[in-house]
Amino acid sequence: MIPLLEVRNLEVTYGEFAAVRGISFDIRDGDLLTIIGANGAGKSTTLRAVMGLLRPRSGQILFRGAEITREPAHLRARRGIRLVPEGRRILPDLSVEENLRLGAYTVPRPGDVADGIERAFTLFPRLKERARQAGKTLSGGEQQMLAIARALMSQPRLLLLDEVSLGLMPILVEQTFATIQALHRHGATILLVEQNARMALAIATRAYVLETGSITLSGTAADLAADPKVKQAYLGG
C-alpha cells in the first residue's frame, strides 16, 4: 500500500544552518503520528516543508504517491493537506465565520461550506456563540479551536498540527488533546508536532524523536513512551 505521505531524505536549511538534516518518515491513512523533540530540533521546519511553506534543499516529499516537493502551498492544500500553524495564525480582523469560510476555500459547493460550518459549531459550540466576533477578540483557547476548526473545513486527508498546546492553560491543553484524539477516532490522519511529549505519546499511534535535525528514535508511541532514553530526555525521568 502506498503511504499517504512519504518524506525521503528531507533536508531544509536556513542559509548555512541545516535545520533538518536528511530525515525520512511516512504516514499511512488513519495514523496519528507524532514527532517529538526539543525546541529548535526542526519539528516546525519539517511541517512547514510538508505544507510547502519552505523549500527543501534536497530530498523528496510524496503525497499519495505523487511527488509534491516543488509544489506551492496552495496546490498542496487542494490535494488535502492542511496545517494548523504554530501560534494559530487566525485572521485577526475577520469574523469567526469568515475565518471558517476561508478554511473552506478549496470546497467547491456552497452547501458543503454551510455543512462544514455546522460541523465546526457542533465540535466547538463556543465558536457558534462568537460567530460574528473578530478573530482577535477570542481568547487563546478559542483561537486554537478556531484554527483547528478552520483546518477541518475542507475535510483534509492529512492534518498537520504544529505545537497546538503551546501557550494554553493546562485544562485547555487536555481539552485540545482530547479533541485531537476524537478526530483521530473518527478517521482523520494526523501529523502532530509537539514539545509536550507526554501528552503527544499518550494519544499517538506512532512516534519519531527529532534531535538537532535528525531522527534518532522511531517506533510505536507506546514503545517510545517506555524507552528509558525518551523517559529521561522528554518525559522528565
How many other CB atoms sit within 10 Å of the CB of residue 187? Answer: 8
Q: How far is the CB of 152 from another protein (least distance, A)?
A: 12
Q: Which is nearer to another protein, 41 or 47 (CB)?
A: 47
Asked if residue 232 lies in contact with residue 219, where contact means CB atoms within 8 angstroms, the answer is: no
Q: Which is nearer to another protein, 90 or 188 (CB)?
A: 90
Q: How far is the CB of 147 from another protein (least distance, A)?
A: 9
Q: Which residues bind another protein (CB under 8 A)?
A: 51-53, 72-74, 77-78, 82-83, 85, 89-94, 98, 101-103, 105-106, 150, 154
For the record, the C-alpha cell of 104 comes out as 473552506
Asked if residue 9 lies in contact with residue 58, where contact means CB atoms within 8 angstroms, the answer is: yes
- What does each C-alpha distance from 87 to 30, 93, 165, 230 come to in angstroms? 26, 16, 10, 26
Closest CA to 229 of 211, 206, 213, 205: 211
Q: How far is the CB of 61 from another protein (least distance, A)?
A: 15
Q: Which is nearer to another protein, 28 or 79 (CB)?
A: 79
Q: Which is nearer to another protein, 82 or 206 (CB)?
A: 82
Q: How far is the CB of 196 from another protein (least distance, A)?
A: 23
Asked if residue 31 lies in contact with residue 205, where contact means CB atoms within 8 angstroms, the answer is: yes
Q: Which string of DSSP letters, residue by residue, matches 15-50? A: TTEEEEEEEEEEE-TT-EEEEE--TTSSHHHHHHHH
Determine the 3-state secondary structure of 192 from DSSP: strand
Q: Which is nearer to another protein, 68 or 90 (CB)?
A: 90
Q: How far is the CB of 77 from another protein (least distance, A)?
A: 3
